[in-house]
Amino acid sequence: MGTLIIQIRSGTMMNMDVNVMVKLAEAAVEKGHDVKIFGYGEGIMAIKEGQEPKRFPNVGKSLEELAKKGVETSVCETCAYARGVKRGEEIEGASVGSLTNNLSVMVSEGDRMITLAR
Amino acid sequence: MKTTLFVMLKGPHESCDLDLMERIAGDEDKAALLFEDAVYYSVMPGRAKELKRRLDDVYVISDDLQARGVDDRLIDGFQVVDYPKAVDLIMEGYDQTITL
């Protein structure tokens, strides 16, 4: 089994990138792979607590469920603070991290990486 | 020989340099996995030909074909896959994965 890294750079309500992220992560975990997710740019919004979309999948809830299965999710601190998302506002199981402490480690340790961006 | 799986998200009408696949992978075995609007390549004859001539295999995510209501228009030569199969292709099917 390997480690799949998913970098998400699209926001939760921009397009279907976050849904692809969730479906890929769920399928990979089901198959026994490790999955690590890193949010960059608008992609940091996926970990914001209190998401209540009316007609779309709740990405925050999905990431919380994935965290219970061992999926690590972190986001770029600079991107988060620029958008007014502070530490302590993350969903359960996710963290505000950094490019150097999180993404670079993920890339060095991962077997495959998918970037979901527009 | 190294094998490469290109992950594509953008549709045929968005900016995507298909020649990049040949510049990156050359004569090596290469394939593409189509998500989101990229699945339209598999139902548009002209665009399908442009893509297929550059690749050994092309896989299409079934969910995204169905979500767009075009699953009954699939052109021969494209292989429909679900997410578990997509994970197999990404993790084990090819030596490297590159997102375009």
Q: What is the CATH number of the domain that holds B53?
A: 3.40.1260.10
- The alpha carbon of residue B91 is apart from the nearest alpha carbon of chain A, in Å, by 6
Closest by Cα among B48, B57, B81, B65 to B6: B57
Question: What's the start-to-end Cα distance of chain A, in Å?
Answer: 29
CB-nearest partner of A4 from B9, B36, B90: B90
B99 — contact with chain A (CB < 8 Å)?
yes
- Among all residues of chain B, which has the CA nearest to that of A30? B84
* Domain boundaries of chain A, sorted by first residue: 1-6+8-34+70-113
> For chain B, what is the largest distance between any 2 Cα atoms, rounded to a whole number of angstroms?
38
The DSSP output letter for A77 is H
Q: In this model, does residue B1 exceed pLDDT 80?
A: no
Q: In chain B, how many domains are there?
A: 1
Query: pLDDT digits over B65-86, tens only?
Result: 999 999 999 999 999 999 999 9
Q: What angle do CA B95, B98, B100 make, to 5 degrees?
A: 155
CB-nearest partner of A114 from B36, B64, B99: B99
Give me the pLDDT at residue B75, please: 97
**How many C-beta neighbours within 10 Å does residue A101 have?**
12
The predicted complex's ipTM stands at 0.92
Q: What is the domain extent for residue B73?
A: 3-99
Question: Backbone phi, then psi, for B53, in 5-degree steps?
Answer: -70, -15
Task: Give the tokens for residue B35.
Answer: 């998500």
B35 — contact with chain A (CB < 8 Å)?
yes
Are B30 and B55 contacting, i.e. CB atoms less than 8 angstroms apart?
Answer: yes
The DSSP output letter for B61 is E
> What percent of chain B has pLDDT above 70?
100
Q: pTM for this structure?
A: 0.94
Kindly state the average pLDDT of the residues A53-62: 92
